[in-house]
Amino acid sequence: MIKAIFFDIDGTLRDFTEIGIRPGTYQAIALARANHIRCFVATGRHLVEIQEEGLLGRLEFDGYVLLNGSLCLDDKLSCLYANPIPVSQIQAMLALHKELGFPLLFMEKDAIYVSHITPQLERLQAGIGTAVPPVEPHMERGLIRPVYQMVPFSDDLPPDLLAARLPLCDITCWHEAGACDITTKGGSKQLGIQKVIAHYGYSREEIAAIGDGYNDIPMIRYAGIGIAMGNGKEAVRAAADYVTDSIERDGLLHAVEYLCHNVKW
């Protein structure tokens, strides 16, 4: 039986720009808990965003796989696993940033900051329902403090160029062009989940994962039951064991109902 569910945030627990949490989402988490299933977040987002923007409303979780698996916390926000970007790759990104002049965002464990602000950055941040981070005039702080995720904002930054300059990193595109998440190579929501379930003693067959975006594909394929939201990308739906309804049609609640009432081992 399923003992833990890992939930993506944007497009799964909430729509990208909606304020508050839908009643059906609260019902979904309550149903999982009533069936003694632990609930975890698995997201590309930072805890600072989640807390300051109130992205999860009154929902409570048993742990967090953050920054696409680069930082994992328990329910007390104690660190279970950390996978910072190698300093050599921070240096390479800073050099590329100085060369091309695009806005660059760094995410440390307890801080998010950006080199400078442009209309494109403001538009993309608004598109995911998140405030513009504070400006940091000394981005070189990333060379002495661990950075877990980098985000360049540019329409003119080919993935091939990033891959060539950052061979020790993975690059994941956002839903909308113009930005990407950059993390340590080999890291993913799947790896973060593996670290979390090892801590709690679950097997992969005992977990489910629900998501909608490209960065959810590894965890959906890895989980005993991988579920795609109906509003998810075509590639995500193709990778899933089960496709639920869209977020607008209470797809998350229907997904948890499916796990609680139809999945038997």
Looking up residue 60, the CATH number of its domain turns out to be 3.40.50.1000
Task: Tell me which amino acid residue 90 is.
Answer: I
Q: Looking at the structure, tell me whether residues 99 and 218 fall in a common domain.
A: no
Q: What is the largest CA-CA distance in the chain?
A: 55
Q: Looking at the structure, tell me whether residues 151 and 192 fall in a common domain.
A: no
Band (pLDDT 50/70/90 cuts) for residue 263 is low
Q: Looking at the structure, tell me whether residues 169 and 114 fall in a common domain.
A: yes
Q: Looking at the structure, tell me whether residues 151 and 207 fall in a common domain.
A: no
Q: Looking at the structure, tell me whether residues 39 and 165 fall in a common domain.
A: no
Residue with tokens 């960065």: 215
Q: Tell me the pLDDT tens digit for each residue of 61-77.
A: 999 999 999 999 999 99
Q: Looking at the structure, tell me whether residues 101 and 52 fall in a common domain.
A: no
DSSP-based three-state secondary structure for 25: helix
User: How buried is residue 119: exposed, middle or buried, by Cβ count under 10 Å (0-12/13-18/19+)?
Assistant: exposed
Q: Looking at the structure, tell me whether residues 232 and 249 fall in a common domain.
A: yes
Range of the domain at 14: 4-82+187-261
- Between CA 37 and CA 3 the distance in angstroms is 5
Whole-number pLDDT of residue 174: 65
User: 80 near 199, Cβ under 8 Å?
Assistant: yes
Tally of domains in the chain: 2
Tell me how far the alpha carbon of residue 75 is from its chain's centroid: 17
Q: Looking at the structure, tell me whether residues 139 and 228 fall in a common domain.
A: no
Q: What share of the chain is helix, strand, coil (3-state, %, to 5)?
A: 40, 20, 40
Q: Looking at the structure, tell me whether residues 147 and 231 fall in a common domain.
A: no
Q: Looking at the structure, tell me whether residues 171 and 143 fall in a common domain.
A: yes
DSSP-based three-state secondary structure for 210: strand
Of 156, 184, 212, the residue that ends a domain is 184
- Between CA 75 and CA 245 the distance in angstroms is 29
Q: Tell me the pLDDT tens digit for each residue of 79-126.
A: 999 999 999 999 999 999 999 999 999 999 999 999 999 999 999 888
Of 142, 161, 184, the residue that ends a domain is 184
Contacts of 226 (CB under 8 A, 6+ apart): 208, 209, 219, 220, 239, 240, 241, 242
Q: Tell me the pLDDT tens digit for each residue of 182-205.
A: 999 988 899 999 999 999 999 999
- Between CA 114 and CA 132 the distance in angstroms is 8
Whole-number pLDDT of residue 126: 86
Whole-number pLDDT of residue 264: 54
Q: Tell me the pLDDT tens digit for each residue of 245-260.
A: 999 999 999 999 999 9
Looking up residue 125, the CATH number of its domain turns out to be 3.30.1240.10
